[in-house]
Amino acid sequence: MDLPQEIRDAIVEDLRLGELATLVRTSKSVQAYLEPRLYKKIHTDFNTPNNTAGLVELLQRRPHIAPMIQMLVLDEYHPRHTRRLLSIELPNLWCLLVQHEGHSIEYVSEREKRVLNREMVEQPAISNYFSPFETASHRYLNYPGLKRLFIEQSTYSTDALKQLIAPSKCLTSINLHHLSGPLPFKERDLCPVLSLAAGTLKVLKLFWTYHPLERDYGFDLSQFTALRLLRIEPGLLLGPHKSLETYTSTESPDLGQLIRSRLPPNLKLLLLESLTIPDGVDFGPEQVILSRDLEFMRCLLEQRDSVAPKLTFLMMYYLNNMVPPKDLYKIASRVGLRFCGLYESDDLDVDWDWLDKDEGLRISV
């Protein structure tokens, strides 16, 4: 490829992956130029030769490829071959995503897992980690450069989460997503673990469908001074309540004071989860928002200047399934706060450059 660099780069940008793989085999000079681009991002496919086991075999045959890999997307979770893969040093791997849904591909005994765990090595360049892995080993979970953590439907314990969070001095985003069954740890034990990143965390999304019937605790996030976006169930934030009881009972503390003592002081976006009457209570096709949560939102809007002075957006999930709280829209308009709903499938994407600024935020769904 005796062409200027910019022309070669333009040609390569237009080639599909299969075409790149074919071109690599034409000459050694082309191979040296293209291989780093070919192996920069690797996507394994379940039930094909291009699976995790195949990738391990490739790296064993051609170890010079390992430093070229920067992103791994594993479309499966094989407990044996995933451990074998992470026993290979990948010095430039910064993003690891495991997106297989469901159970692991093959049963591996706990004894074999422990043996394989001892062979795993640190991958110190990882900054983005998305995984439903079960706990492997403390050494395996040590990512000091971690910036974004997404854990979905995992069996991590709070000790394992500590090992993920504690080493990082630059963790800015945590997304904990659990849709099936109880959490693998006590809900109340999570907040002290999250607080390990209280000084750097800007985005925190907590979403699970299984909620305890009774809570005698709430999450105190007032020390999370860097936090700008929070997705949470109001009951998890504010603490004890009965399913249909408002916060205005004589036994409840002043609601505004309670909100102020629990919310992050610099919060700009609050996304509220699980606002509707639980499944099994029939109120017709549209779900009714819990009285306690209506009181929470009303107080937050009316006392915004004192309880959450930097709050810009207040949003509710599952708008398509609920009776809209029309009176709250009027209050929000009066105080200059954007109040709106989100659908179940919406995932809010924030312009990170705006998170630390005082102006209104640029967001997209």
Q: Which residues of 217-241 are buried (b: 16+ CB within 10 A; e: fewer)?
A: ebbebeebebbbbbbbbbbbbbbeb
In this structure, of 62-66, 133-137, 141-145, 190-194, the range with the lowest mean pLDDT score is 133-137
Q: Which two tokens stand for residue 82?
A: 């995933």
Rg of the chain (C-alpha set): 24
Percent of the chain residues past pLDDT 70, beyond the cut? 77
What is the mean pLDDT of the segment spanning 292-303?
Answer: 89
C-alpha distances in Å from residue 95, one per residue of 19, 69, 125 = 25, 10, 8
Q: What is the pLDDT of residue 15?
A: 58
Q: Which two tokens stand for residue 309?
A: 């002075």
HSE-CB at 81 with a 13 A cutoff on CA atoms is: 22
What is the mean pLDDT of the segment spanning 313-323?
Answer: 79
Closest CA to 219 of 256, 185, 250, 258: 258
Per-residue pLDDT tens over the stretch 178-226: 877 788 888 899 999 999 999 999 999 998 877 776 777 889 999 999 9
CA–CA distance, 179 with 278 (Å, rounded to integer)? 15
CA–CA distance, 3 with 140 (Å, rounded to integer)? 44
Closest CA to 350 of 164, 205, 193, 144: 205
Q: What mean pLDDT, rounded, does the chain reach?
A: 79
Instruction: Give residue 21's pLDDT band: very low, low, confident or very high (50, 70, 90).
Output: low
Give the dihedral sign, CA 263/264/267/269: negative
HSE-CB at 280 with a 13 A cutoff on CA atoms is: 2
Instruction: Give residue 139's pLDDT band: very low, low, confident or very high (50, 70, 90).
Output: low
Q: What is the pLDDT of residue 344?
A: 67
What is the mean pLDDT of the segment spanning 53-82?
Answer: 89
DSSP bridge pairs for 201:
none
What is the mean pLDDT of the segment spanning 12-30?
Answer: 65
What is the mean pLDDT of the segment spanning 242-259?
Answer: 59
Instruction: Report yes or no: 219 and 193 within 8 Å, Cβ to Cβ.
Output: no
Q: Which two tokens stand for residue 225?
A: 């001074």
Q: Which residue type is seen at 66?
A: A
CA–CA distance, 66 with 168 (Å, rounded to integer)? 24
Q: What is the pLDDT of residue 271?
A: 93
Q: What is the pLDDT of residue 244?
A: 39
Instruction: Give residue 104's pLDDT band: very low, low, confident or very high (50, 70, 90).
Output: low
